[in-house]
Every structure is written in structure tokens, then in C-alpha cells.
Amino acid sequence: MPADPSLIQELAENLACRARLGLGLVEARAGDLRRLGAALAGRTAPDQPVPAGAAGAGPGLRPSLEGVRAQLGDCQRCALAQGRRKLVFGAGLATAKIMFIGEAPGEKEDEQGEPFVGPAGHLLTRMLAAIGLTREEVYITNLVKCRPPHNRDPRPEEAAACLPFLEGQIAALRPQAILALGRPAAQALLDSDAPISALRGRWHDLGGTPLLPTFHPAFLLRSPERKAEAYADLKALRRRLA
């Protein structure tokens, strides 16, 4: 069914208005993000967070990571495309059991086209090592695939444009567990406006996939006193997989 252009327009204006008012993702329900994202990606909005029909697949089919990447193409679906050097799709094992989802590429990621290769990425690598994992054994991506200017939080319409592709990546991987790193990824995926401190530390259900929010490594670099909580989350992940 083709998306209704007036609905797309209304959603886009609504989300842009929230962003102008500084309300950010917190005030934009993920349902809105999904409907707008689906419309921008040229398909009907899914009802479920991890749909079989996510970007990169036909209805009812499991997408492949390559299919999702091909659909994303030289993405111009939001304004972030204009400022990016490289689109950062994701990296790691295509059959990974664990998926890490951050917020958005930073400067180094934008330069190299790889997620989490800057200072926050170095800490993420150490966090993985603390529970006996390497980057090559997991899959790492972000809520949005292009760097926001000055590393600001992604805007609702930017997250909305990317969400169908993130859902496509999740549907392709079918991971046993997802770690959402930081507030924007956790809130967008869980359709929640709760702070990360309230979301983290317990398992949530994302359309049948267990999802554990935890602190973003960049936040931990600024607030090292919160590292113990993040390590507790990582240990919970380890226990879940064991």
C-alpha cells in the first residue's frame, strides 16, 4: 500500500516542530518515528519493532545485511547526508549473536566509515574484552548512520529516516541479545521517554529479542564513576548468553 503523502508531510512537520522546540527524541514516540521512517523508506509502516518486512526484505522474508545496505544506497533521506564524509552502516560478524547499537557516528567514524573507532570505541573494545569478547565476534552499529553536526543528538526525523534500516539489520542478524548503548538508541528502540538510568540494568523485550540498555561509552569516559554499573550490565549479558 503506498504511503499517504499528506500523512508523511504531517509526521515530518510534527517531528521537525518538536525538534525546533528542543523537545528532541524524548518527545517523539517511536511509533511516529517508525511511521515516518517507513514512509521515507518507501514501504508501509510495520506494527512490530522488528518486522519481517524491515528494510532490505520483501514482505515476510528475512532480509540480508547486504540487502539492507543496498536499500540504504547513497542515502539522502535526511539532512545529515549533506554533512557526512562516509555513511557508517555497521561492522562485525554477520552471524553475530550479540548486537551493540550506539547513537551516531562521531568524527573518526565519519572519516573511516566504521562504527566506534574513536575514543568511545576504544572503551567499547575494552568493555567487550572484560567479558571475553572481541569486536570481530559481535555486530556493532548505530541508531543513525551519518554523523550529526558537532556530534549533537540525532533529531527525531533523522532517527525516523534510519530506523527501518536498523530494524532491517536486526531482522537480518536475529541476534540472541541486543545492547543499546545510551539514551537515544534505547529510547528509540523501546518507544520510551524514560531516562537511561531508569532503562538500564534490566532486560526489555524488542519484538522477541532481549534488549539491555546500558550507558554509552562516551558517557562513561566523562563519568568514570558509572563504569561499575555498565560492567554489571555486561556481566548480565554474559550470563544470559551462557
Give contact residues for ligand URA (rule: CB under 6 A).
Answer: 102-106, 109, 115-116, 118, 120-121, 142, 218
Q: Which is nearer to ligand URA, 32 or 110 (CB)?
A: 110
Q: Which is nearer to ligand URA, 77 or 215 (CB)?
A: 215
DSSP letters along 135-201, please?
A: GGGSEEEESSSSPPGGGPPPPHHHHHHHHHHHHHHHHHH--SEEEEESHHHHHHHHT--S-HHHHTT
We find the least distance from the C-beta atom of residue 242 to ligand URA, in angstroms, to be: 27
The answer to whether the CB of 194 falls within 8 A of the CB of 188 is no
Q: Which is nearer to ligand URA, 45 or 101 (CB)?
A: 101
We find the least distance from the C-beta atom of residue 192 to ligand URA, in angstroms, to be: 18
We find the least distance from the C-beta atom of residue 185 to ligand URA, in angstroms, to be: 8
Q: Which residue is nearest to ligand URA (CB)?
A: 102
Strand order in the sheet with 139-142: 91-92, 139-142, 98-102, 177-181, 209-214, 204-206
Write out the three cell numbers for 197: 538510568
Q: Return d(Cα 116, Cα 124) in angstroms, integer.
A: 7
We find the least distance from the C-beta atom of residue 181 to ligand URA, in angstroms, to be: 6
The answer to whether the CB of 63 falls within 8 A of the CB of 172 is yes
We find the least distance from the C-beta atom of residue 205 to ligand URA, in angstroms, to be: 23
Q: Which is nearer to ligand URA, 45 or 185 (CB)?
A: 185
Q: Which is nearer to ligand URA, 42 or 152 (CB)?
A: 152
DSSP assignment letter at 51 = -
